[in-house]
Amino acid sequence: MTSDTVTIYVIEARCKTIKVPKSVPDGSGIMIFKKRQHTVAQLLQPSTNADDLRTSGEISAAIYSICFVPKDVPIQFICETKLLCDTLCRDLTKWEGIDWLGVRNRLALRDLVNVLRQRCAYTSFHKADNKTDRNIIDEGRRLTTRLMQDGGAREVPLRIDPTLNISGAKLSLITQRIAYRLIRTRLDTAERRRTVSTVTSVIATLNSQLKELTRAEDLWTSLRNPDFRLQISDFLWKCMHDAFRVGRFWRNIPRYEDRAKCQYCDTVDSMSHILVGCDAPGQSELWTMAGRLWAKKHAIWSKPTLEDILGSGLRQWHSKNINAASLWRECGGS
Minimum CB–partner distance for residue 248 and Zn ion (Å): 15
Closest to Zn ion by CB, 200 or 284: 284
Min. distance of Cβ 268 from Zn ion in angstroms? Answer: 10
CA distance 244 to 62: 46
Closest to Zn ion by CB, 180 vs 244, is 244
Number of alpha helices (DSSP H) and beta strands (DSSP E) in the chain: 14, 6
The residue among 246 and 325 lying less far from Zn ion, judged by its C-beta, is 246
CB of 281 to Zn ion, least distance (A): 11
Residue 188 vs 266, nearer CB to Zn ion = 266
Distance CA 123, CA 36 (A): 18
State the helix-helix crossing angle for 283-295 and 324-333, rounded to 10 degrees. 170
Burial zone of 61 (CB within 10 Å; 0-12 exposed, 13-18 middle, 19+ buried): buried
Q: Which is nearer to Zn ion, 216 or 276 (CB)?
A: 276
CB of 264 to Zn ion, least distance (A): 5
User: Distance between CA 264 and CA 285 in Å, rounded?
Assistant: 16
Whole-angstrom CA distances from 133 to 2, 11, 79, 124, 129 are 19, 11, 9, 15, 7
Residues 147 and 61: their CA atoms lie apart, in Å, by: 14
Q: What single string gives the DSSP state of each residue in 123-188?
A: EEEEE--SHHHHHHHHHHHHTHHHHHHHT-PEE------GGG---S--TTT--HHHHHHHHHHHSP
- Nearest-approach distance from CB 333 to Zn ion, in angstroms: 21
Q: Which residues bind to Zn ion, rule: CB under 5 A? A: 262, 264-265, 278
Smallest gap from Cβ 293 to Zn ion, in A, equals: 24
Calculated CA dihedral for residues 266, 271, 276, 280, nearest 10 degrees: 40
Residue by residue, DSSP assigns 31-72 as: EEEEETTEEEEEEEE-SS-TTT--S-HHHHHHHHHHTTS-TT
Residue closer to Zn ion, measured from CB, 253 or 268: 268
Minimum CB–partner distance for residue 287 and Zn ion (Å): 14
Per the CB < 8 A criterion, the answer to whether 96 and 27 are in contact is no
Nearer to Zn ion, 254 or 282 (CB): 282
Based on CB atoms, which residue is closest to Zn ion, 66 or 239? Answer: 239
Q: At what angle do helices 57-66 and 106-117 cross, to 10 degrees?
A: 20
Nearer to Zn ion, 265 or 295 (CB): 265
Least distance from Zn ion to the Cβ atom of residue 115, Å: 58
Contact 78, 56 (CB under 8 A): no
Please measure the distance between the N-terminal and C-terminal CA atoms of the chain and give it in whole angstroms: 61
The least distance separating Zn ion from the CB of residue 276, rounded to whole angstroms, comes to 11
